[in-house]
Every structure is written in C-alpha cells, then in structure tokens.
Structure 1
C-alpha cells in the first residue's frame, strides 16, 4: 500500500467535528488523512447560527463569573424536559468537562467571540457567539490542520469500511469515478454530519411525516451512519429531530454570509458591537438575522396565513403547518398578511425572527435585507402576480379566511398586502451512532467496534443537545475526543 494511501488516523468528513478530530490526532504526532465528499470543508458548521455554550471560559472569568463544569452539567438537564430519560449522562459529563478546553483551543486559533450571553435556564451566561459568522470555524480549523500536515482530500466519498478480523483497518472511497483504498493503522473517525437529507433513514427512524421535510444541507445524507451500521453499529435516538421548522429559503447572495472569516474583521465587529450606537451596527446584524431563521409562531397567531403555489390555504397555521408544507407544490408556501399586521410586526414586541442574545428582526428588516422573499402590493391580485400564484385562488382563499378569521384577528382586509417567502420545512436529525465517552463506536451488544470512532452528529448517539450552543460545542469537543482516542490506539 502506497504511503499516500495510508495514515495513522483517517477522518471521514471535514466539518467542524472532523477537522477537530484531525487536529487533535495530528498534534499528538500522528499522520492524519481527511476524506470529504464535498468540494469544500465546513459541512453543517458553515450553516450554524454560530453559538458555543461553555462553562469556565476566559470571557466569563473576565466579568467575574465563576462557573464550574459541574454546574453546566446540571443546567443542561433543565433544557431536556420529557427527553431527560433518554439522555446519556456519561456523554453529557464528558462534554461539559472538555468543552472549556475546546473553546480555549478555538481562541488560540484566532476565532473571535462576543459574549457570554444569557440563556435561561442556564444559571449564568454561557453562550459565546462567533464573529463574523460561523464560517470562521472551518476557516481557522482547516488552516491549522494543514499547518500540522493533515492531508485533506476533497471530493472523496467514502463508500465502505475495510475490516480485518473484526477490526476496522481503513476505508474505500470514490473519487473521479474510481475506487481507492486507504489504510488506517490506528483508527477511523466517522464525522459525516446528520442524516437529515436521507429520506429513507428519516422514514425508518422518525416516520413518514419527518421524511417529507427537507434538509438545510442537502449532502447530509447519513453516509457515515450507514458505514457503521454495515459493521454492526446502531443508531440511538433516531426518532428525535429538531423541527421540522418553517424557515425562509436562504438568499443566493448575502453580504453577511459572504464576509471573509478573518480575525481582523471579527475584532472590528466585536469592537463595534461594544462601542458604537445600536442604530449604526443594527443593519449588519439584520443581514444575518434575516437569512435562514424561523418566522415566529406569533405571526400566525395574529392572523397571517400560509398559501401554497396554487394560491390555496392548506392548513391551520397554528397546528403544525411544517408537516403540511412538504406536501404542497414545490414543497413550499408563502406567508400572507395585510397592512395592519405589517404595522404590528414592525416594532417590539412583535418581531418576525430572532437569534438569542443577538437581536430581533422586524418586517422593515426583511424589506431591506431580503428583497428576494419580500413582496408588497396594493391588491391581492397584484400580489398574486408578483409571487406567481393564481389571483382568483388567492383572493378566494383570503375571502374564505376573512369569513371566519382567527380569534383576535380582524381578517386580512387592509392594504397593502404582503407576502414573505417562500418558506420550506427543514429538519435536523438528532439520532447518532451509539458511542462510549471516548467516542468509540459501540455495537448492538455494547462492545466497542475495534478501530472505529464517531464524532459530531454522527456520534450523537445518546446525548441530548437542547439549548443554543450545545450542538456546535458537542461537534467540536466530540471531535477532539475521537481524534485523541484514535491516535492513542495501539497499532495492530
């Protein structure tokens, strides 16, 4: 086997968890190969809100907060509600005890945060928000990985694990239409994200209604999960999902997501957020808040309705419309409301979307920043033309609603009429491979699969990650733990 096709540790996936696994192993002196099926690193990390929740951080200490990991362990359970009985406390403990070091490593790599911000029921502020956007993570991690000599190969899709005498010894990957075999002397780390874009997996584990919902990242097809299932692993909590949520389709071009993830820019933004008047920096914050966030339920409760591409109202907007939208033409819908609601949702406390600890976005923010999803007209017929639905159908749908409007609503009567959208139903799957606290993949009988590790959403089997900042924290921290474990495994 050529040295180019062998390494001490092979990592499948170059998202946040995979890159951290590679860095951890490389810093221990191991040769590391990362295989990524996409043309660029980052994965779901690039689409995250960007918050990371941690105790014992330097930012907390700077403002006099003493916050031990044990307190974080206790507070995480307060988020879980009915899911608490399905949480793995050993994984939760491994997470809270190691995430402070994860945050410190990110700071050492030049990643900039503002905060910490409060999020009850956390007893103290723990949410650290990245600047300028979540792409800063992959930028810093991939740069450091390459500095350490990590071999990152893009457009390489791993198709199966190679096993000898019950031990995982490598992978077979497809690139440029050819199959390639890669040997791992110490271990393979699976870090391929969730399976939110795999309709069949969603159907098996979460049911047909969830299977119909879309995915924020269309390449999150559960490849890494399947690789492990093929060698005797199992998925835990596969029926638990985040969402479905109705979210606006992302813009083709958006300044905030196009900002270069440089440390200089992040420091300028951090200084500006602390020193400049809110009115000066708010327009830039709104570019982020109006990108892919969920419109609030209160918009529907106040009288807005959902219309499909046929111009028809198809569901009770306050009764899980996210389950109905995937059944509509193009799997999308528009939010329709009138001038009265437009005025109502232009100021506090009636916001359209929010990111905790950041700011609130109102209708004028969408009008300025999302011209691609904002339409306004003096009549329903004109609005129908702008959004491309049959005018007669839209007029009839609104007239029918006005005959029996939602309680507390006067109906949609006052021009101008506004459409926001399209919105689509998105889901993130929470089920992952069953793992040990050392991120060893476990078989159905609870024994470790020799030579196989998992991290991030792929290795989320058993830990519940409610609350902002825990998914990214887990992705990075579990990646570190998996990379370390694989690097320490004895050869042979």
Structure 2
C-alpha cells in the first residue's frame, strides 16, 4: 500500500510537470472539481432555535408525522432555557395534588393578568393557563423531574414546578426535551444561523441559513417556527426600545439577540409590546449570574447596606427592581439562614461559585459586611415576629414560609439586570404569526420569548417556562397541520 501511494505521488508530480511544459498549468486537472457550497436541504418543518420552545415544537411536529430540522446558531443546545432556575408555573397538576396544594387555572389566569398590568392578550393568556398543567404532565411522561413545587413573585399559590430538592429547573427541562428529541432522531444543526425567512406572495418557503464557515444554504420547508428567544443580550436593540437601560447588564445567554423578531419584521410580521422589558432584581453584579427567585420564595429577605428590609421580597420583579435601584449602590443583600439553605439545593451552587458571604452568627456576618450588628439583629427579630404573626405589617408580604433562626447566616449581593423582553412578534391562538394588519402569514409560527402579548407589562417568575412549552407544543402541532 505504501509503495502504491508513493507511485501515485510520483505520477501526480509528472502530470504537473507536463502541464507546466505544455502551458496549461492554469487549467484545473480534468478529475478535479471546484469547491462546492453547502447543499440545500428540503424538509417539512424548520425550527429556528433549540431552547425549550424549539425542542417542544420539534417533538410535537415529529410525532404528528412531519420531518423536522432544528437550526441553532450557538455551539450548544438549550438557549436561555438552560439558564432558567426558578420553576415552571402550572395550576391543577398531579404534583400539586400529591403535595396537597390547592390551585386553579382561574387563579393562575388572574395572577398573570394582574402581574402584566392587564396589558396581556387575554386569549393567549387563557390558552397558556389552561394548557400549563398538560405541559407539566407531558414533561413528566417524557421522564422529567418536576416534582417539587414552590412559589415565585406575583403568584397567589405554590405552582412553580422544579426538580426534587429545589434544584435549578432549566438544565432538567433541557435534558428532558433533548433526550426526547434524540430518541426521535430529529436533526439539530448547531452553529448554524438562520439569516433570512423566505417568503413569496405571502407564503413561507423556508429559510436561508449560514454555517460556521460562512457558507450559505437554503432549508426549503412549508412551515417555519421561530423559537429564537428575545433580545435581552442585544444592547443596541434594548436601548432602542428603552433608553433607560443604557449600561445595564443582562442575565441572558449571548445568543439572545432578537434575530427571529428582526427576520419576521422584515417580511411584514406585526410586533407588540417591544418596549416592555423586564429586569430581574437578583443578578450578581460581579458576573451577571442570576439568583433564582426561589431563594426569596423559600423565605430569604432583602436588606440594604444599612441592614434594613426595604421591599416585599415577593412583589413583582419590576417593583423589587425599582426598590433596589433606590438603595445605596443600587444593590440589595439577599439574606437567609441554614433552614433556607437546606430547603433549596440550588443554593449549594451559589456557595461553590464563591458569591456567598457566610457568618456563624449575625454579629460575625454584620462585621464582614460593614453593617451595624444591632440594626441587622433588629431587622431579623422583627421579621421573625412577622412570620410568627402571619402578617407582614411592614411591606405586605403574604407568604413567609420560615423565619431566620439561629445558626449560620448568609448574604449574596444582588442588583437588577435585563432579564426578559416581553415584546415580540404577534401571534394568534394557533401560534401563527400575524402581519401588521392582523392577518396570518401562511406557514410562519412562533413560540417563546420571540412572541409578544402573553406577559403584558411584566412577566411573573415561572410563567416563561410554562409559556415556552405550551406554545412550543401548539406551534409544532399547528405547523404539522399545514
């Protein structure tokens, strides 16, 4: 074999010498082709984005008998869903029943509308809240662990489903969906960016995409599903819609740049609520990590640099963020004790990151923080008294599951960062994208944070994950009906 390769090499050299001598060195050898671009692809449904909405849509479209391809511009699957920590809101689930939690779709609907200042699209909220329970049951059937239930800000009842022990919900959600996608052999093309939605005479024909080498190709399809997320990591776009966000950090992953919204608008899609942008109050200023709202839901309080409470910790995110920005340094200190640490396994991750300040007593912790120990002790004593009475006479917090007892105490410094963009493309109840006149763009669907209208002026913690599964499934089913 080695001798054969050596002879082949000699032959090639001789051929090159002959071509030079005959003056045709500029012509390619007869058996050599010019480099070819990436081949175009044909499929039934192409989905842009591999977060929770995209993966849920892929599973449903596939199970309805359609061939599906998912495009993901980042080098890994999951999008912002992978970063989610708090939970997935749903009312009337089997998990709630097992835990003795009473809840209803009607209360979930009212909480969502109230949290969004009644700016939400009532039809979409009705579909969302009515189907959230089925979304949880579907995820459980797929093998997911969503068997712990807590409460996040703005919710009347405990309805935020998360993994056992209170672990971060996003990784488990992505794991569950990705396993289901892989079991179905659905193709996901990572590091592949959709750059244009193909449309002719008001009908969708697929997308133009580009691979990591900059080569463009077409994915022809009768249905396109936008699951590209919001624009929380696009500083230019954020400031365009809300100039007050100049210089804000973000909890979003780098790929959340609003590509799907921009592409849809380019072919006439209507947009709604684009100026409604939510900050999350408990992000770590030093690195942008988000501290799950479940820490507060499980009993933590927020104090300022003077060691005093300043807000109802479970008010809506915009209210807590505004209160925090009014404090010295525009930050807050998330304060909790051993009981809360033991109730929520996600806290162990924060300790491993080195972002938690710990003290064996309130006095020791106060010394580390430069806070007057008597003031901090007074704040804790007062709060524990409120827990005992069941009434927060200071700030109106209506859910105080535990006080801060003797033992180790902890603080995480937090501040607001851009978290969720409530605005996006306009859809109907079938997840069909509508144009500026409210007419259906045939073949174009959307789900998740790329969509506007569901959360109104403020999104409740735990509603986004329910939203992406509910409307991701709807989009997949609707696309399969074409």
**Could you tell me how far apart the structure 2 residues matched to 1:76 and 1:444 are?**
26
Give the one of 179, 185, 203 matched to 1:149.
Answer: 185
Aligned to 2:128: 95
**Could you tell me how far apart the structure 2 residues matched to 1:142 and 1:157 are?**
20
| Aligned: 1:42 with 2:42 | no
| Aligned: 1:302 with 2:307 | yes
SS in 2 for 1:172: strand
Aligned to 2:453: 461
Q: How does 1:14-163 map to 2 (within 5 A)?
A: 14-63=50-99, 67-80=103-116, 83-84=117-118, 86-118=119-151, 122=155, 124-131=157-164, 132-133=167-168, 134-163=170-199
Aligned to 1:218: 254
**Could you tell me how far apart the structure 2 residues matched to 1:360 and 1:163 are?**
45
| CA 28–124 in structure 1, closer or farther in 2 if over 3 Å, else same | same
C-alpha RMSD of the superposition: 4.5
Q: How far is 1:182 from its partner?
A: 3.1
Comparing 129-138 with 20-29, greater Cα deviation is found at 129-138
SS in 2 for 1:178: coil
| CA 318–423 in structure 1, closer or farther in 2 if over 3 Å, else same | closer
**Could you tell me how far apart the structure 2 residues matched to 1:474 and 1:50 are?**
14
| CA 438–2 in structure 1, closer or farther in 2 if over 3 Å, else same | farther
Q: How far is 1:425 from its partner?
A: 3.4
**Could you tell me how far apart the structure 2 residues matched to 1:236 and 1:39 are?**
30
Q: How far is 1:67 from its partner?
A: 4.8
Contact 2:204–2:222 (8 Å) recurs in 1? no
In the superposition, the TM-score normalised over structure 1's length comes to 0.67
Give the one of 48, 71, 74 matched to 1:12.
Answer: 48
| CA 360–427 in structure 1, closer or farther in 2 if over 3 Å, else same | closer
Aligned to 2:18: none
Could you tell me which runs of 5 or more consecutive residues in structure 1 were left unpaired when the two chains were aligned: 258-285, 305-316, 326-331, 337-341, 377-385, 387-397, 410-417
Give the one of 218, 227, 250 matched to 1:191.
Answer: 227
In the superposition, the TM-score normalised over structure 2's length comes to 0.68
User: For 1:141-184, what per-residue CA distance to the aligned partner results, in whole angstroms no more than 9, with x for missing partners?
Assistant: 11211221211000001111111222121111111333333334
Contact 2:194–2:209 (8 Å) recurs in 1? yes
Aligned to 1:203: 239
User: For 1:269-288, what per-residue CA distance to the aligned partner results, in whole angstroms no more than 9, with x for missing partners?
Assistant: xxxxxxxxxxxxxxxxx999
Aligned to 2:465: 472
User: For 1:357-377, what per-residue CA distance to the aligned partner results, in whole angstroms no more than 9, with x for missing partners?
Assistant: 84897xxx899544367599x
**Could you tell me how far apart the structure 1 residues matched to 2:461 and 2:280 are?**
17
| Aligned: 1:429 with 2:429 | no
**Could you tell me how far apart the structure 1 residues matched to 2:350 and 2:133 are?**
40
User: For 1:97-119, what per-residue CA distance to the aligned partner results, in whole angstroms no more than 9, with x for missing partners?
Assistant: 22222111110111112333356
Contact 1:55–1:72 (8 Å) recurs in 2? yes
**Could you tell me how far apart the structure 1 residues matched to 2:352 and 2:179 are?**
32
| CA 18–324 in structure 1, closer or farther in 2 if over 3 Å, else same | farther
**Could you tell me how far apart the structure 2 residues matched to 1:366 and 1:302 are?**
25
Contact 1:170–1:181 (8 Å) recurs in 2? no
SS in 1 for 2:163: strand
**Could you tell me how far apart the structure 1 residues matched to 2:201 and 2:137 are?**
40
Aligned to 2:434: 442
| CA 3–181 in structure 1, closer or farther in 2 if over 3 Å, else same | closer
Aligned length: 390
Q: How far is 1:249 from its partner?
A: 5.3
Contact 1:244–1:323 (8 Å) recurs in 2? no
Aligned to 2:354: 371
**Could you tell me how far apart the structure 2 residues matched to 1:203 and 1:449 are?**
29
| CA 250–455 in structure 1, closer or farther in 2 if over 3 Å, else same | farther
Aligned to 1:237: 273
SS in 1 for 2:417: strand
Contact 1:333–1:421 (8 Å) recurs in 2? no
SS in 2 for 1:245: strand
Contact 2:282–2:292 (8 Å) recurs in 1? no
| CA 173–211 in structure 1, closer or farther in 2 if over 3 Å, else same | farther
**Could you tell me how far apart the structure 2 residues matched to 1:118 and 1:372 are?**
24
